């Protein structure tokens, strides 16, 4: 039996604990949605790299030349979707994305494992047409390392359970007080 989703405070506590737990290796894959440069919504899987309850922010890492960065520069509105199968908990974190690279994130580079660093430094740039599947180079390049930080405006949480499914919306402008929604 899960009591944590029966109160707005309990669910809010649990969802932030879920995001903190998601950072432990292997970090959770989440879906990042943005507004495409050409038409409508776009989505892709990314790895959750940070979760800060005090600031109500979560972060992911990417290549500064990737299409998602261009999209977020054009329109910073974004949603991160998370699903915890064990908890039966879906989160939609909606907000605006802050894009940081260079000196602002240089302190993180030494903590990036060697195997992951090559994700930041694909040549030609991610999404560029290439003549063969392996016609690209992956050389770690700190200058291409970017941190995308979602400044969360609202969290839509859905908990599936045997008796009642429960859904709540928490908004920054309401100081995360929360309100129940029909699921």
Binding site for ligand FMN (CB under 6 A): 29, 44-47, 60-63, 66-68, 126-127
Instruction: Compare residues 12 and 68 and give the one whose CB is closer to ligand FMN.
Output: 68
Instruction: Compare residues 18 and 63 and give the one whose CB is closer to ligand FMN.
Output: 63
DSSP, collapsed to helix, strand or coil, labels residue 11 as helix
Q: How many whole angstroms separate alpha carbon 33 and alpha carbon 80?
A: 6
Instruction: Compare residues 112 and 153 and give the one whose CB is closer to ligand FMN.
Output: 112
Alpha helices per DSSP H over 48-167: 67-74, 114-117
Q: How many whole angstroms separate alpha carbon 55 and alpha carbon 37?
A: 29
| CA contacts within 13 A on the Cβ side of 115 | 0
Token reading at 41: 């919504």
Cis peptide before 26 (omega within 30 of 0): yes
Burial annotation 3-33 (CB, 10 A radius, 16+ → b, else e): ebbeebeebbebbbebbeebeeeeebebebb
Instruction: Compare residues 73 and 165 and give the one whose CB is closer to ligand FMN.
Output: 73
Other Cβ atoms less than 10 A from the Cβ of 176: the count is: 17
Instruction: Compare residues 49 and 166 and give the one whose CB is closer to ligand FMN.
Output: 49
């Amino acid at each position: 039996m899960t009591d944590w989703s029966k109160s707005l405070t309990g669910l809010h506590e649990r969802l932030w604990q879920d995001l903190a737990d998601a950072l432990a290796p292997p970090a959770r894959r989440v879906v990042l949605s943005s507004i495409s440069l050409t038409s409508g919504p776009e989505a892709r899987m990314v790895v959750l790299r940070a979760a800060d309850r005090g600031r109500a922010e979560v972060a992911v890492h990417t290549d500064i030349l990737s299409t998602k960065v261009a999209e977020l520069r054009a329109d910073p509105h974004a949603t991160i979707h998370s699903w915890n199968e064990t908890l039966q908990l879906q989160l939609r974190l909606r907000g605006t994305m802050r894009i940081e690279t260079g000196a602002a994130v240089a302190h993180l580079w030494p903590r990036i494992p060697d195997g992951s660093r090559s994700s930041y430094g694909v040549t030609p740039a991610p999404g560029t047409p290439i003549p063969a599947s392996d016609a690209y180079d992956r050389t770690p390049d700190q200058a291409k390392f970017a941190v995308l930080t979602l400044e969360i405006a609202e969290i839509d949480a859905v908990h599936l359970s045997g008796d009642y499914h429960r859904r709540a919306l928490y908004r920054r402008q309401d100081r995360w007080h929360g309100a129940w929604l029909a699921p």
